């Protein structure tokens, strides 16, 4: 893997890899895709450094970690949502003022019509062959933005609700409630 990193000349990309790898555990193909998707979003939405962003990843695999580290969009700060459709895709939007209920965003996906030009990457993507991460990443860094497609989308921004705390009638534990629930999620499940 170090061999691949050494071939990369873009110093910004190298430093991004160096930040993501300790968090994710290793440089996976998906983590690399997440880094590239983040960079596309940053460029198209003209995001400033440290600007608060929201990411909705359409898979649990690898991609979310790049957005947590590079975009500061985490599970805990509600910047990161995962709607698991098993797709190599992500929707990114920027922060909007509290009275706005919609934000302009971008949906980026790894486009199989475009990965066709890169047989090893394509085989990895479609899972038609066992392809080592090194080989798939080699193609990705060569291709750059060439293998992605994107579209501009409107993202619904939920209205922040007043916090209310209730005690569950069954288990007796306190929980943050949304409406007038009398049972916690554990007890209604």
Main-chain dihedrals φ then ψ at residue 168, nearest 5 degrees: -70, 130
Considering only 83, 126, 171, 176, the residue that binds Zn ion (CB under 5 A) is: 171
125 contacts: CB under 8 Å, gap ≥ 6:
88, 110, 112, 115, 136
Under the criterion CB under 5 A, does residue 166 sit at the interface with Zn ion? no
**Listed residue (91, 45, 48, 53) closest to 69, CA to CA:** 53
Cβ distance to Zn ion smaller for residue 83 or 176:
176
SS3 103: strand
CA atoms within 13 A on the CB side of 98: 3
Length of the chain counted residue by residue:
189
- Least Å distance, CB 76 to Zn ion, is 23
Cβ distance to Zn ion smaller for residue 44 or 166:
166
Under the criterion CB under 5 A, does residue 177 sit at the interface with Zn ion? no
Cβ distance to Zn ion smaller for residue 134 or 175:
175
Under the criterion CB under 5 A, does residue 170 sit at the interface with Zn ion? yes
Cβ distance to Zn ion smaller for residue 70 or 184:
184
Under the criterion CB under 5 A, does residue 169 sit at the interface with Zn ion? no
Q: In the complex, which residues of this chain contact Zn ion (CB under 5 A)?
A: 168, 170-171, 184, 187
């Amino acid at each position: 893997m170090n061999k691949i990193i050494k071939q990369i000349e873009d110093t910004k990309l190298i430093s991004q890899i160096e930040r993501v790898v300790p968090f994710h555990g290793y440089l996976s193909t998906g983590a690399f895709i997440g880094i590239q998707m983040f960079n596309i979003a940053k460029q198209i939405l003209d995001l400033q450094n440290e600007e608060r962003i929201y990411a909705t990843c359409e898979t649990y695999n690898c991609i979310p970690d790049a957005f947590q580290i590079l975009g500061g969009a985490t599970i805990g700060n509600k910047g990161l949502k995962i709607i698991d459709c098993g797709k190599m895709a992500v929707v990114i939007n920027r922060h909007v003022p509290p009275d706005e209920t919609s934000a302009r965003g971008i949906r980026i996906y790894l486009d199989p019509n475009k990965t066709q030009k890169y047989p090893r990457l394509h085989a990895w993507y479609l899972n038609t062959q066992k392809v080592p991460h090194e080989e798939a990443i080699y193609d990705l860094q060569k291709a750059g933005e060439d293998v992605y497609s994107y579209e501009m989308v409107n993202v619904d921004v939920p209205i922040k609700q007043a916090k209310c705390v209730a005690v569950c009638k069954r288990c007796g534990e306190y929980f943050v409630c949304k409406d007038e629930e009398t049972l916690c999620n554990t007890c209604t499940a």
